[in-house]
Amino acid sequence: MNTRLLLLPLLFAACAACIAPARADDTDGKTLFAKNCAACHQATGRGIPGAFPALAGNTFVQGAPTDVATVLLKGRGGMPDFSGSLDDGEIAQVLTYVRSSWGNGAAPVTEQDVGSTRAALGVAPATHSRFGNKH
Ligand code: HEC
């Protein structure tokens, strides 16, 4: 019996353990988007022309993480702010999802990016429940 074959299941188990957290993050970003953003920007990220801008193929969305985070922390025009309902980690997750979905290909946004933007803007910390939607 080849002992290397016996090691294979162990390798698979180790691999599954290291992949699982990354998958969970993607799922969270998608769930957060569905609950908090899709009503306006649509699940396709294409928005509704004349009312809600498309996030798919949007250069601003794929630009500086702090600029994009500012829109969520302060709101803008007809866009509500999510500073109270989403914490820094959740804003990072939903923006990372938006920046890497529907053909977008920008780098992830980190919790630290959002935290430093929140501090710079003087916006109070979130007082939310997980996956909360205040709207
Ligand atoms: C009630 C509708 C509504 C919801 C919900 C909403 N948005 Fe928006 N969003 C808008 C509108 C309207 C604008 C355009 C604001 C402006 O510039 O006047 C906008 C703009 C943006 C922009 C800037 C786009 C650009 O080209 O400048 C980003 C990024 C964005 N939204 C992301 C999100 C994310 C992520 C969520 C969920 C956490 C979300 N929005 C939820 C309505 C909404």
Task: State the CATH number of the domain containing residue 67.
Answer: 1.10.760.10
134: nearest Cα among 70, 90, 97, 68: 90
Q: Is the CB of residue 38 below 6 angstroms from any atom belonging to ligand 1?
A: no
| Any domain includes 128 | no
| Any domain includes 37 | yes
| Any domain includes 135 | no
| Any domain includes 134 | no
| Any domain includes 8 | no
**What is the domain count for the chain?**
1
pLDDT tens for residues 76-90? 999 999 999 999 999
34: nearest Cα among 90, 103, 104, 107: 90
Per-residue pLDDT at 22: 47
| Any domain includes 104 | yes
Of the candidate ranges 1-5, 20-24, 67-71, 115-119, the one whose mean pLDDT is the lowest: 20-24
Instruction: Please choose from 28, 33, 41 the residue to mutate so as to test ligand 1's pocket, defined by most ligand atoms within 8 A of CB.
Output: 41
Answer yes or no: is pLDDT of 2 > 90: no
Mean pLDDT, the chain, rounded, equals 87
Between the CA of residue 122 and those of 31, 64, 65, 76, what are the distances in Å? Answer: 28, 19, 17, 16
Q: Is the CB of residue 49 below 6 angstroms from any atom belonging to ligand 1?
A: no
| Any domain includes 34 | yes
Q: Is the CB of residue 61 below 6 angstroms from any atom belonging to ligand 1?
A: yes
Residues of the domain holding 30: 24-121
| Any domain includes 106 | yes
Spatial neighbors of 41 by CB under 8 A, at least 6 apart, are 33, 47, 52, 53, 54, 55
pLDDT tens for residues 29-56? 999 999 999 999 999 999 999 999 999 9
Ligand 1, atom 26, lies closest to the CA of: 60
Answer yes or no: pTM beyond 0.85. Answer: no
Q: What's the CA-to-centroid distance between 40 and ligand 1, angstroms?
A: 8
CB 93 within 8 A of CB 23: no
